[in-house]
Amino acid sequence: MDADKELNPEEQLGEDIAEPPVVTKSGLIYGLNDKPPVVEAIFVAFQHVLAAFVGIITPPIIICSSLGLDAANTSYLISMSLFASGICTYIQCKRIGPIGSGLLSLQGTSFAFLGPILGVGTVALQKGSSPEQALALIFGVCLFGSFVAIILSQFLHLFDKIITPVVSGTVVMIIGLGLIKTGMISLAGGAVALAQKDGSFGSLQNLALGGTVLLIVLFLTLSSNRFLRMGAIAIGLVVGFIISLFLGIIDFSSLSQLPFFRLPVPFRYGISFDFGAFLPFILIYVLTAIETVGDLTATSSISGEPVKGGVYIRRIKGGVLGDGVNSLIAAVLNTFPNTTFSQNNGVIQMTGVGSRYVGFFVAGIFVILGLLPVIGGVFQAIPQPVLGGATLVMFGSIAVAGLNIVVSAGLDRRSMIIVAVSLGLGLGVVFAPEIFVDKPAIFSNLFGSAISTGGLTAILLSWLLPRSKEEVLVSQENPA
């Protein structure tokens, strides 16, 4: 079999593409199945890595700190998070049989599971377990929970009248708008509590540094030179890194404590299970599946691919199935659930490269970073304002991509209500998190994020609100 045909996702999907694609004008330089030259592909891949790196390593850092793990175990879990992201990204982009979307979609450690994981770990410690035993319970719960996504993926086609472009576009908007806060905090100096202690949060130096990087990225993105456009994020980060060196704000001291090479050890901490601890994870896996639908819809739209119809549904099913399988692999490799990352959609839009072949290089880089902790440590040394300046505009572009999806589907009164209420409730819980202070922990775990609240609201409204007679007729004339 010809290699190109073997890698062609439409051949793997095994059906004709009869429906016209509903896409946005993305101005792509390389489309989904184009093969950029190796040098260009690696260049773009590094920008995806830079955009996702912090998001991948932050959850294990927070979890390890909360469980009181020592530096050696913390370093190991960070390395395994990067290694697992590489393996899982390859599966998602390659599409192995029915597993994976076949889109340029990155996999990484999911923030959505942070609350439940910390809850399980804290309870385990209170019952007298050691931090390592708490990890065994966490990985056991995550491993069995991955089957929720695996099973759910097989029934997504039954929800195609509920998970419409309006719903998925709304979720994409919420993802982008929710991430903007993260980007702005990074630009101002990073974690608010830590940065405020030394008075650096929002300092003129941080704002000037982040603002400079942001302006460089914006200027190069608008360039007519395709190499400058593809390299906008990387160039902005490199310039910011060099400026930071002159300012003396980069700390390489942690590099000396890291081993040069590290091999993965499956089930290093063992595995255990508790049904009570497992219950909150069921809904979180369902909600992250909704998030994945939104992420992959944005990726499809930005890559000039369909956002409705048979091909789209099969890609979504493969992507959610990939999430489940990849989360299972992550648990075996001693790290936390993996889901599709939304950050890379901003990189696709900024660089104009939607080729899934770039994902193979991204996967390779993550695997190398996981095996060589010292190299990962260098990336980790990039100052927060530099990262914030580069990512802020990307997060905004994700929200715009979601808006394009909603608009392409057509906005009637029913759609506007779905979008308005979902955005209101989704972002509302982020703006006023105090509403969960005196509530049971399960409420904050389930509804404390914009994605879970807004996504669930959009799905429920799409299911419950009656459609107009015109919509029903159009649906019957143009079945998916």
314-326 pLDDT, tens digit per residue, is 999 999 999 999 9
Q: What is the pLDDT of residue 99?
A: 95
Share of the chain above pLDDT 90, in %: 30
CB-based contacts of 474, cutoff 8 Å, min separation 6? none
Q: Are 33 and 103 in contact (CB under 8 A)?
A: no
**Rounded distance between C-alpha atoms, residue 319 and residue 91, angstroms:** 10
Per-residue exposure over 429-453, b if at least 16 CB sit within 10 Å of its own CB, e if not: bbeeeeebeeeebeebbbbbbbbbb
Residue 404 has pLDDT above 60, yes or no: yes
**Rounded distance between C-alpha atoms, residue 121 and residue 115, angstroms:** 10
**Rounded distance between C-alpha atoms, residue 57 and residue 380, angstroms:** 9
Dihedral sign from CA coordinates of 90, 91, 93, 97: positive
Cα 103 off chain centre by: 14
Q: What is the pLDDT of residue 440?
A: 75
Dihedral sign from CA coordinates of 109, 110, 111, 115: negative
Residue 472 has pLDDT above 60, yes or no: no
Q: What is the pLDDT of residue 442?
A: 66
Q: What is the pLDDT of residue 196?
A: 58
**Rounded distance between C-alpha atoms, residue 233 and residue 387, angstroms:** 10
- Alpha carbon dihedral 403, 405, 408, 411, in 10-degree steps, equals -60
Distances from the Cα of 356 to the Cα of 13, 104, 173, 256, 263, angstroms? 16, 4, 23, 36, 27
**Rounded distance between C-alpha atoms, residue 370 and residue 192, angstroms:** 28
Residue 25 has pLDDT above 70, yes or no: no
Residue 165 has pLDDT above 50, yes or no: yes
pLDDT in tens, 215-238: 998 898 888 887 787 778 878 888
Read off the amino acid at residue 420. A
Backbone angles phi, psi at 351, to 5 degrees: -90, -25
pLDDT winner (highest mean) among 139-153, 175-189, 292-306: 139-153
Distances from the Cα of 161 to the Cα of 11, 24, 308, 419, angstroms? 26, 22, 11, 16
CA neighbor of 162 nearest in space, from 428, 360, 459: 459
Q: What is the pLDDT of residue 127?
A: 86
Residue 79 has pLDDT above 70, yes or no: yes
Read off the amino acid at residue 468. S
Q: What is the pLDDT of residue 7?
A: 41
CA neighbor of 295 nearest in space, from 42, 111, 29, 442: 111
CA neighbor of 344 nearest in space, from 94, 47, 54, 79: 47
Of residues 190 and 214, the one with the higher pLDDT is 214
Per the prediction, the chain carries an average pLDDT of 82
CA neighbor of 391 nearest in space, from 47, 5, 25: 47
Q: What is the pLDDT of residue 475?
A: 52
Q: What is the pLDDT of residue 3?
A: 39
Count other C-beta atoms under 10 Å from residue 323's C-beta: 34
pLDDT in tens, 260-302: 888 899 999 999 988 877 877 887 788 788 878 888 988 998 8
Backbone angles phi, psi at 20, to 5 degrees: -70, 140
Please name the residue that has the structure tokens 């104009």. Answer: 352
What confidence category does residue 18 fall into, taking pLDDT thresholds of 50, 70 and 90? very low
